[in-house]
Amino acid sequence: MAIFSKLSRRRFLAIASASTGTALLHGCLGNPPEAANNQSAPVASPVVDLKPEMMPEVKTIKLGYLPIVEAAPLIVAKEKGLFAKYGMPDVSIDKQANWGSARDNVKIGSAGGGTDGGQWQMPMPYLISEGIITDNTKVPMYVLAQLNTQGNGIAIANKHLSKGLSLKISEQVAFFDKLKSEGSKFKAAYTFPKANQEFWIRYWLAGNGIDPDKEVELLTVPTAQTVADMKRGAMDAFSTGDPWPYRIVTEKIGFISALTAEIWKNHPEEYLAIRKDWVDKHPKATKAILKALMEAQQWCDNFDNRKELASILARREYFGLPEKILIEPLMGKYNLGERSIDDKSMAPLYWKDEKGSVSYPYQSHDLWFLTESVRWGFLPKDTLAKAKDLIKQVNREDLWREAAKELGVAAADIPTSTSRGVETFFDGTKFDPEKPQAYLDSLKIKRV
């Protein structure tokens, strides 16, 4: 959408009192890109009617992000002046050194020099709300939107090439047993424990009949060390967000055994969550942020925009990476090393996927992350009994709905249920959000 680049932020603000609103949206509805193309012209005026009842209480918020493709909608909302468009001209998007820093910064809040919220792996907002990863200090948070589905992968060191480590592991336990008996247990890493990246590698292993707690050594490695550690042979596998797995392939350090989109097609990935105290105090500003985010997600989702998206994310102040490493995964072109995938439906998706809304934060997905936490013994068994109440406190899908309506999102694009329904994984396992215990019962490898 050229209109974004042609209009300065000042121009956005100058015309913000006129109205019309949502015509802009229709040109951006992304997936599949072929359908969106026909609608992108003529360009409507990018104005928004800031009625008094929608005027944000504040013009600023500090949001953290990590340099992986999950952060794209936050960066685009800032870069394209969308936060300003909805009355929030001073939103600051701050790169976090790692997930631990992101957690520490939201714990102290912007008043203490930290952040008010930002990008999160699940179930971090729950673990922070409950004080589980914040030294028993409960910092209540609200999950407000999902940033993307898919876009992650499991990288394996080159020394394991041609040993049958793919989505399905051919030699199964024998391979891992052999390493164990040789005193070089398979080491699998992620940058933060007990969240998405650990869940994906655990799911991949367990779905192949390998007990991740017995056959494998799982470890947390700081982001900055991951590529170097794999290069020098200190780790065998690494679970992370694009473009890092792809970078490992292009630098000939390793290959990708599986995209997370293969493990669980259209799986929930990362989220926008903000401190409860900030949202409760600034409900209109929260909705302004959500509207800007949704519009950015629609822009990011359009594959016609992904080259420009790669060039924005590549910049020094954001990811500081060569654009060519970003563009291929963003287009769903994955050189996995042993095989390749060229399929836009496997790329990170930001607004719509085959299951419907990406941005809407389904409560059924929060429940899966909590159930999976129980599966691996990260959270106590009684979490399932409390899950419904916990999710009601943390997941504010109601605010997402209000913001979507204000933005003029078509009714068909607003989910009617808080559940996406039954989910199916690559090993055939099903998760019915109505019966989380039945899911746990069905699993062979678990700690509960």
Residues that bind Ca ion (CB under 5 A): 152, 196, 241
Instruction: Supply the minimum distance, in Å, between the C-beta of residue 242 and Ca ion.
Output: 8
- Tell me the C-alpha to C-alpha distance, in Å, between residue 412 and each of 204, 292, 387, 421: 34, 20, 28, 17
CA distance 350 to 377: 31
Instruction: Supply the minimum distance, in Å, between the C-beta of residue 56 and Ca ion.
Output: 29
Instruction: Supply the minimum distance, in Å, between the C-beta of residue 326 and Ca ion.
Output: 15
Tokens matching residue 92: 């600051």
Instruction: Supply the minimum distance, in Å, between the C-beta of residue 121 and Ca ion.
Output: 6
CA angle 54, 60, 66 (to 5 degrees): 115
Instruction: Supply the minimum distance, in Å, between the C-beta of residue 318 and Ca ion.
Output: 16
Which residues are CB-contacts of 106 (< 8 A; sequence separation ≥ 6)?
A: 64, 114, 115, 116, 117, 118, 128, 139, 141, 275
Sign of the Cα pseudo-torsion (259, 143, 413, 431, in order):
positive
Nearer to Ca ion, 24 or 296 (CB): 296
Nearer to Ca ion, 27 or 241 (CB): 241
Nearer to Ca ion, 96 or 196 (CB): 196
Nearer to Ca ion, 265 or 284 (CB): 265
CA distance 402 to 383: 29
Nearer to Ca ion, 70 or 397 (CB): 70
CA distance 29 to 302: 7
Instruction: Supply the minimum distance, in Å, between the C-beta of residue 74 and Ca ion.
Output: 14
Nearer to Ca ion, 46 or 329 (CB): 329
- DSSP SS3 for 168: coil
| Cβ–Cβ < 8 Å for 112, 364 | no
Give the HSE-up count for residue 324: Cα atoms under 13 Å, Cβ half-sphere: 4
Closest-by-Cβ residue to Ca ion is: 241
